[in-house]
Amino acid sequence: MPAQSPQYLTWHVLGTGAIGCLYAAYLRRAGCDVRLLLRDAPTLEQLQHRGGIELQLAHEKLSIAVPAEIASSSHEQIRQVLICTKAQQTLGAIRSIKMQLAPRPVLVLLQNGMGVREPLQQEIPDAVILHAISTEGAYQTQRFCVVHAGHGSTVLGAINRAEQPIAQNVAAALRCELQIDAVDDIAQRLWLKLAVNCVINPLTALHRCRNGELLQVPNIDSIIDALCREFVTVANAENQALTLEQCRAAIHAVIRDTAMNYSSMLQDRLAHRPTEIDFINGFIVQRAQQHALACPHHTELLAAIKAFDP
């Protein structure tokens, strides 16, 4: 068990996709007090029938019993929450446990997209909201069966600099076989991740292709360039000192390093699930409008994805 910051060793996990299950399993395996907050009784029964989270590692398969309860009927006081839901599900999920939240709860957002923080802070004004970005390779073969396909790393930080000491303690507490570090520049990292997601996710969903196959799309270089130029203009207007070269390099690095992967947005499209487009390209379009900036390429992608969103 991590020895640091014992007050941060009790966690509730919202969202039982691959990353939520991965973190819950590793935290439980390390001896932390972890509880899954589930949507409904059938989901709870599914977990109980399976006997816990099945974690597939390179050379072994583990079954890890993780306590769980239905979020809306939780009777515990909730102090720390790892939020791994889809961006569009976050407010509803938090509202389901709002009455159980302790004063000044710590909420860690580990999800794609931006634009959740502001309404979440309005909903829970005294919350400490931290942000995390992970490159852990994980996917689910079935509900509560997660394959840890590749070891990556996680960075965590506070937008509010006064809360950075809390971020450091939380990172130390969550460091349970998974590499996680506190960083001071989480805002810039979030924007750079958003640049990658604004290009790879909608384009792969639109063309129904793996990440690496994007490079075979006609005129892809000019498409990426146009999206990056608009993105950088909006980011700079938001006081984020990103450059065109930084965005291009990050996008091409992810395409190269995850060439065989299917983006989460493509997976959502193929499964006929709602996508996170409103919190990815939609966020950029909304911020562009606030600054009276032209953003035609992101607007076009937003409309194209929303056309097949259920």
pLDDT in tens, 38-54: 999 999 999 999 999 99
CA dist 43 and 145 (Å) reads 13
pTM equals: 0.93
Answer whether residue 10 is part of any domain. Answer: yes
Q: What is the DSSP string of 109-159?
A: E-SS-SS-HHHHHHHSTT-EEEEEEE--EEEEEETTEEEEEE---EEEEES
The pLDDT of residue 78 is above 90? yes
Last-in-domain residue among 136, 156, 184: 184
Average pLDDT over residues 280-301: 98
Are the beta carbons of 268 and 261 closer than 8 angstroms? no
172 and 31 fall within a common domain: yes
- Under the banding of pLDDT at 50, 70 and 90, the label for residue 83 is very high
- Percent of all residues in the chain with a pLDDT value above 70, rounded to a whole number: 98
Determine, yes or no, domain membership for 1: no
At residue 76 the predicted structure's pLDDT band, cuts being 50, 70 and 90, is confident
CATH of the domain at 23: 3.40.50.720
Host domain of residue 38: 6-184
Residue 6 — very low, low, confident or very high, per pLDDT cuts 50/70/90? low
Q: Is there a single domain that holds both residue 226 and residue 147?
A: no
pLDDT interval class at 26 (50, 70, 90): very high
Domain identity same for 144 and 204: no
Ranking 5-14, 107-116, 175-184 by mean pLDDT, the lowest is: 5-14
Local structure of 55: helix, strand or coil: strand
Mark whether 85 and 203 lie in a shared domain. no
Confidence of residue 151 (pLDDT cuts 50, 70, 90): confident
Specify whether 118 is located in the same domain as 193.
no
Q: Count up the domains in the chain and report the number.
A: 2
Residues 228 and 124 in one domain: no
309 neighbors 144 (Cβ within 8 angstroms): no
Residue of 9 and 223 predicted with greater confidence: 223
Q: Based on the domain organization, do 24 and 11 belong to the same domain?
A: yes
Boundary (domain end) residue, out of 144, 161, 184: 184
Residue 139 pLDDT grade (very low, low, confident, very high; cuts 50, 70, 90): confident
Q: Say whether both 170 and 261 belong to one domain.
A: no
Pure H helices in 238-291: 244-257, 264-270, 281-290
What per-residue confidence (pLDDT) applies to 310? 80
Instruction: Give the pLDDT confidence of 170-226 residue by residue, as tens digits.
Output: 999 898 889 999 999 999 999 999 999 999 999 999 999 999 999 999 999 999 999
293 plus 219 within the same structural domain: yes
Looking at the structure, tell me whether residues 140 and 285 fall in a common domain: no
Q: Of 184, 203, 219, which residue is a domain's last?
A: 184
pLDDT at residue 1, as a whole number: 39
Active site members = 193
pLDDT, mean over the chain:
93
